[in-house]
Amino acid sequence: MQHLDDFVSRARAAAAAPDPEAETMALMVRTFADPRALDAALPEPEGEVCLFEDDTVSIWHERFEPDAELPPHDHAMPAFLGVYRGRERNRLWHVAGGRAHPGGVLDLGPGQVHAFSPACVHSVIALDGAPSFGLHVYLGPLGKVERSLYDWESGEPLPLTEPAFLSMVRRP
């Protein structure tokens, strides 16, 4: 647990820095430079676990499954994702005319990090028949802001609530 506490402290400091986006990305790059060591040091989460949240930062320990694609959604704030075990596929969506439309694909594997803008919309699933594991840092109170889900077929935005989110998970 010491390593997660250390990561939370460093992420909180990065979020409070004069340039929080640059500092958070630098933290993620340093943290994920040795994904095997990170994997060995961290407990295996059962799902999504919020490690810390205040008005400046939210920090999550993530586990995505290969049999559940999370629906298209935004974060409404800068988001920094890092993978330390497994691989995940982020399907990118672009919003035009108030609707989300399928875009590209971003696959992340061990040691890779990526920053999403507040307007980025993505869906996510683990690849290769195995879970993927990572740490995410959001520059804001993820659990307290209004966010959107997007219907898989029509692209129409919907308020992101836990029941709506869970009802839209796809099982390939």
**Residue 101 counted as domain residue:** yes
**Residue 71 counted as domain residue:** yes
**Residue 108 counted as domain residue:** yes
- What is the mean pLDDT of the segment spanning 33-38? 96
Q: Which residues contact 83 (CB under 8 A, 6 or more apart)?
A: 32, 35, 108, 109, 110, 111, 112, 113, 132, 133, 134
Crossing angle of helices 2-15/20-31, nearest 10°?
160
Q: Give the pLDDT score at 3.
A: 86
User: Is pLDDT at 1 greater than 70 in this prediction?
Assistant: no
Count of structural domains, the chain: 1
The pTM of this model reads: 0.96
**Residue 40 counted as domain residue:** yes
**Residue 49 counted as domain residue:** yes
Phi/psi-derived region of residue 168, left when phi > 0, alpha when psi is between -120 and 50, beta in every other case: alpha
Residue 47: give the domain boundaries: 2-167
pLDDT in tens, 14-28: 999 999 999 999 999
Among candidates 123, 121, 63, which has minimal Cα distance to 89? 123
- What is the mean pLDDT of the segment spanning 114-139? 98
**Exposure pattern of 126-147 as b/e (b: 16+ CB <10 Å)?**
beeeebbbbbbbbbbebeeeeb
**Residue 61 counted as domain residue:** yes
**Residue 172 counted as domain residue:** no
CATH code assigned at 47 = 2.60.120.10
